[in-house]
Structures are given as structure tokens and as C-alpha cells.
Amino acid sequence: MLKTIKTNQLQLLAMLTAMLLIVLFFSFATDGAFISPRNVSNLFRQTAIVGVLAIGMVFVIISAEIDLSVGSMMGLLGGIAAVLDVWLHFPIMLTILITIGTGLLLGLFNGWWVAYQKVPSFIVTLAGMLAFRGILVGLTDGATVAPTTSALGVIGQSYVPTGWGVSLVLLLCLGVIAKVYRRRQAKQKHGVVNDSAKFEYLKALVSIAVLLSLLAILEGYRGIPTPILIMGVLILVAAYIAKRTAFGRRVYAIGGNIEATRMSGVNVERNKMFVFGFNGMMVAVAALILTSRLGAGSPAAGNMAELDAIAACVIGGTSLAGGVGTVFGAIMGALIMSSLDNGMSMLDVPTFWQLIVKGGILLLAVWLDVKTKKAQ
């Protein structure tokens, strides 16, 4: 066990170090502008969309599949949200419900082809990538659907009031401590060797310190951006699903060895379809944030977003071979990607360089991962 825990921790440590280096580098290069409250807030809002996509994608990749359609699907769902809002004047709650419901259906549709019809997910979702974009362009006649109502704008543009934000984060901090305490209790009860108390509580304190300083920085601007609150809630929910539920466990098992999982009496087809369904819902949430932020549904929205989401998962330690990955890692991956975007934009690095650097980082991250795994 020590060995496996060490591997996981090593990976986490490597990611945190990379993140720290990126932050330090850009902070110096921009004379501190990178970590100004305004920019951090901005950076986080940029992360939210890729982050939410990565939350859905990480489940797909853990189950040893891939989804190339999320960019187009996000565009389409964002377009639908805009149409409902701008053209049809639907109430906001209905718009949200219909968008998320449609996301679920599109995801299940992909999943049905993959799981029950045994068409490789690469192909199914490549088809989706083309078709969803086509539907979007057809639906909107290739024009931007704008302007969205202020009610829809709340999702992507507003901030959580200070009082609420502070209490939520404090609650979260309490939760972190309670979790460590409870886990230690449970382990003790089963006679499993605990890491030293100091070490575990130190870890908890570090994460609380990070949470609180982020809160301080964000409150220094306008408060916690609503998309970040949404992403935060989804992280908690998704991490819970991955770690604590039978469904999550089965997804890891399916990715680890689908045949053995089937022989164990698990309904692998249904679970796989649900993975895609869940992913579809995440895409819908991302689409709502996107449309709300842009204030419009655009036929080009979400172009290539699937690649960002996949890159975020992979940088975050998710294995394309399946069976390995964490929600937290994928979010870290998304944060690293958007930090690079943001930092390089601040430094006025030309777009073409930005692409080259991002590609290089992706390659480097996976190469390092392969190397360290081999060394063991």
C-alpha cells in the first residue's frame, strides 16, 4: 500500500509543484499582475468551463473510452440555451432544465452507440463532433443568437455575495478537518496503519490555507465567481461519485479490465452508457456557463474544447488506457492549462506560440508520467 500511495502522492506533488512553478514564473514575469485579485478571478472564470468539461471527461477516460464530441456538443447545447432564452423567452429555470436534459440525452445517445452497439467511442463521438456542430449551425442559421437575458447572465457573470462566499468556504474547511478525522477513526477501528496524525492534519491545514488565501484574493476583487461555485460543487459531487459510490467503483473496474468486470456480474453496458450520460450533463453545465458568459449563442462556440478537456485529464494523471484517474487531478490539469493561457496572454505571447507551448507541456507531462512509472 505504501508504494501505491507514494505513487499517487508523487503524482499529486508533481502537479502541485508544476502549478507553483507556473504561478511563480508568471508572477515574476508580469511584476505580480498575474496574482492580482482581478487576474486570479479572471483566470478562475476561464478555468471553469474546461474544468467542468474535464469533470465529465475524466469518467469517460477512466472507463477506457474517449469523447471527441464535447466541444461541438457544448456549442450545440449553448446554442439551444440561447435560442430558448433569446428567441422563445423561456423562464431561466426551464432553460436550464431543458439544456441539462438535452445534454443528458445526447450523452446517453453517444453511450448507447458505444456500449450496446459496440461502435468504438472514437468513431461515435467523432461523428457527434461533426453532426452536433452541423445541427448547431442549422439551428441558428449560422448566426449569433444574442443578446441573452440578464437572468441567464447570472450563471456565468455574477459573483457570490461576500457573506455567502465566506460561510461556504468556512464550511468547506470544517468539512476537510472532519473528513480527516473520520477517516482516521475508521482506519483505527479496522486496525489499518494510519499515517502519522501530524502529517495528515498538516496536509489538511495546507489545503485549508490554500482555500482561505484563494478566498481572500477573490474577495479582494468581486468575490467568488458563480461559475467557480458551480464547478466547486460539481467537483465535490463528482469526487464523491468516483470514490464513494458503487457506480464510480464500477467505472474504474470497467476501465481496468472490462471482461473481468463483466464476468463479475456487473452490467458494463449500462454503466458505460451512464458515464456518457453524466458527461453529457457536465457538457450542458459548461455550455450554460459559456453562453451566459458570452451573452450569446455562437455557431463557433466550444470549437476544439474537447481537446482542452482531454488534455486537462491527461495532464492530471488520467490514463488513456483506462482505470486510472481522479477528478481532482483533472481539475488541476485544467487549471494548469488555463494558467498557461492566461499568463502567456498577459505577456503578449503570440497565439501561435501559445499553442506550441501548450502542446509541448502536454507531451512533457505525459512523458514524465511514463518515465516515473517505468522507473518503478
Partner 1 sequence: MKQPLLDMRNIVKSFSGVRALNGVSITLGDGEVLSLCGENGSGKSTLMKVLSGVWPYGSYDGEIYFQGQQVKASGIRDTEALGIVIIHQELALVKELSVMENIFLGNELGSCVSLNDEMMHSRTRELLAQVKLNISPDTLIRELGVGQQQLVEIAKALNKNVKLLILDEPTSSLTNNEIDILLGIVQELKGQGIACVYISHKLDEVLALSNWVAVIRDGNHIATKAAAELTQNDIISMMVGRQLDELFPRENHQIGETILQVTHAKASQPGASRCQVEDVSFSLRKGEILGVAGLIGSGRTELMQCLYGCYDGDYQATIELSGQTLQIRSQRAALKAGIAMVPEDRKRHGIVPIMGVGRNITLSILDRYTAWFGAIDEEQESHDIHDAIARLKVKTATSELAIKNLSGGNQQKAIIARFLLTKPKILILDEPTRGIDVGAKYEIYKLMFALVKEGVSIIMVSSELPEVIGISDRVLVMHEGRLKGEFDHQGLTQEKIMNCAIKEAESA
Q: Which of 93, 118, 171, 190 contacts partner 1 by CB under 8 A? A: 190
Q: Residue 273 CB, nearest distance to partner 1 (Å)?
A: 16
Q: Which of 34, 252, 276, 278 contacts partner 1 by CB under 8 A? A: 252
Nearer to partner 1, 150 or 245 (CB): 245
For 287, residues 6+ apart whose C-beta sits below 8 A from its C-beta are 73, 74, 75, 76, 77, 78, 80, 81, 99, 103, 301, 302
Strands 224-225 and 159-160: antiparallel
Q: Does 117 contact partner 1 by CB under 8 A?
A: no
Q: How far apart are the C-alpha atoms of 49 and 202, rounded to whole Å?
A: 31
Q: Does 12 contact partner 1 by CB under 8 A?
A: no
451573452: which residue's cell?
Answer: 295
Nearer to partner 1, 141 or 259 (CB): 259
**Phi then psi dihedrals of residue 224, to 5 deg:** -75, 125
Q: Residue 66 CB, nearest distance to partner 1 (Å)?
A: 19
Residue 352 grid coordinates: 501561435
Give the footprint of partner 1 on residues 321-340 (CB under 8 A): 323-324
Q: Using alpha carbons, list the distances in angstroms from residue 14 to 37, 123, 370.
A: 26, 34, 13
Give the footprint of partner 1 on residues 47-106 (CB under 8 A): none
Binding mask 265-304 for partner 1 (x = CB under 8 A): xxx-------------------------------------
Q: Does 259 contact partner 1 by CB under 8 A?
A: yes
Q: Does 118 contact partner 1 by CB under 8 A?
A: no
Residues shown for the chain: 376
Nearer to partner 1, 16 or 186 (CB): 186
Residue 367 grid coordinates: 512523458
Q: Kindly state the number of chain residues that form the binding site for partner 1, as judged by CB under 8 A.
A: 31
Q: Residue 263 CB, nearest distance to partner 1 (Å)?
A: 5
Q: Return the SS3 of 368.
A: helix
Nearer to partner 1, 221 or 247 (CB): 247
Residue 195 grid coordinates: 499515517
Q: How far apart are the C-alpha atoms of 265 and 135, rounded to whole Å?
A: 39
Q: Which of 40, 77, 253, 284 contacts partner 1 by CB under 8 A? A: 253
Binding mask 202-241 for partner 1 (x = CB under 8 A): --------------------------------------xx
Q: Which of 89, 118, 189, 374 contacts partner 1 by CB under 8 A? A: 189
Q: Does 163 contact partner 1 by CB under 8 A?
A: no
Q: How far apart are the C-alpha atoms of 158 and 144, rounded to whole Å?
A: 22
Q: Does 264 contact partner 1 by CB under 8 A?
A: yes
Beta bridge partners of 159: 225
Q: Which of 260, 304, 355, 363 contacts partner 1 by CB under 8 A? A: 260
Q: Residue 330 CB, nearest distance to partner 1 (Å)?
A: 18
Residue 91 grid coordinates: 423562464
For 107, residues 6+ apart whose C-beta sits below 8 A from its C-beta are 73, 276, 277, 278, 279, 280, 281, 283
Residue 55: how many CB atoms within 10 A of its CB? 30
C-alpha 181: how far from its chain's center?
A: 27
Give the footprint of partner 1 on residues 340-359 (CB under 8 A): none
Q: Does 263 contact partner 1 by CB under 8 A?
A: yes
Q: Which of 25, 247, 303, 340 contacts partner 1 by CB under 8 A? A: 247
Q: Where are the alpha helices (DSSP H) in 63-140?
A: 70-82, 92-115, 121-140
Nearer to partner 1, 246 or 356 (CB): 246
Q: Does 371 contact partner 1 by CB under 8 A?
A: no
Q: Which helix (H) or strand (E) holds 160?
A: strand 159-160
Question: Could you list the residues that contact partner 1 (CB under 8 A)?
Answer: 1, 3-4, 186, 189-190, 192, 240-241, 244-247, 249-250, 252-253, 256-257, 259-267, 323-324, 376
